[in-house]
Chains A and B, each alone.
Chain A
Amino acid sequence: DQQVKQNSPSLSVQEGRISILNCDYTNSMFDYFLWYKKYPAEGPTFLISISSIKDKNEDGRFTVFLNKSAKHLSLHIVPSQPGDSAVYFCAANSGGSNYKLTFGKGTLLTVNP
């Protein structure tokens, strides 16, 4: 049972345009969400997070939007750059004493020059 779903395995975008990466979740107990970026043969690096008490969080070119009623979050990258080409993972954590981060399968973003 996959509680965090990234339904698009890949996405291709032109440099300078917006990249939108989507993530859906099924567990209504999730209250903290994160996005990670991963290059081949490296560990994932943290990009941005959002708590369920917010619907938007922005950090430079990266913005995460959360729609709790739809159990959906998205990562916007504007403007996209070739160096953004990587696999992006969505992750979620339920609060309290839950120690686990549940990850989606990832979306491969390719930014074309």
Chain B
Amino acid sequence: SQTIHQWPATLVQPVGSPLSLECTVEGTSNPNLYWYRQAAGRGLQLLFYSVGIGQISSEVPQNLSASRPQDRQFILSSKKLLLSDSGFYLCAWRKLNTEAFFGQGTRLTVV
């Protein structure tokens, strides 16, 4: 069966510090991978998606970047965090035209 792992579960970082959130998927190959952010009152906002190794599409201009170094690994990064980067970050995978499966999320607080 397929599983998705996302860590850490919570993170408190100072403004200006770097960020690296990691997500891995097991039990499937060549999944589409996604990073979403849930901010208060804004639902689930798609940040990045990837259809293959090294292929990243960005949905919104922002202070974050994503990379996919391996087929089942997706990383969300920032060189310098802003207060506005605080939120609940979710990684997900899916095959085309099926449901998406989400990780447990990372609560990021930038102080």
Question: Which residues of chain A have a CB within 8 Å of any CB of chain B?
Answer: 6, 32, 34, 36, 41-46, 49, 89, 91, 93, 95, 97, 99-106
Contacts and interface: CB of A to CB of B under 8 A. Distances in A.
Contact of B49 (A43, A49, A100): A100
Contact of A103 (B43, B88, B104): B43
A43 B103 contact: yes
Interface in B79-108: 88, 90, 92, 94, 96-97, 99-105, 107
Given A95-B97, A99-B49, A101-B94, A44 B43 contact: no
B106 to A, nearest CB: 10
A104 B101 contact: no
Nearest to A94: B97
Count class of interface residues, chain B: 20 to 34
B99 A105 contact: no
Contacts of A41: 88, 105, 107
Contacts, number: 56
Contacts of B90: 43-44
Q: Secondary structure at chain B's binding surface: helix, strand, loop or mixed?
A: strand
Contact of A34 (B41, B88, B99, B107): B99
Interface of B: 6, 32, 34, 36, 41-46, 49, 51, 57, 59, 88, 90, 92, 94, 96-97, 99-105, 107
A46 B96 CA distance: 15
A103 B102 contact: no
The 9 closest A-B pairs by CB, nearest first: A43-B102, A105-B43, A103-B44, A46-B99, A43-B105, A99-B32, A43-B104, A44-B102, A43-B103
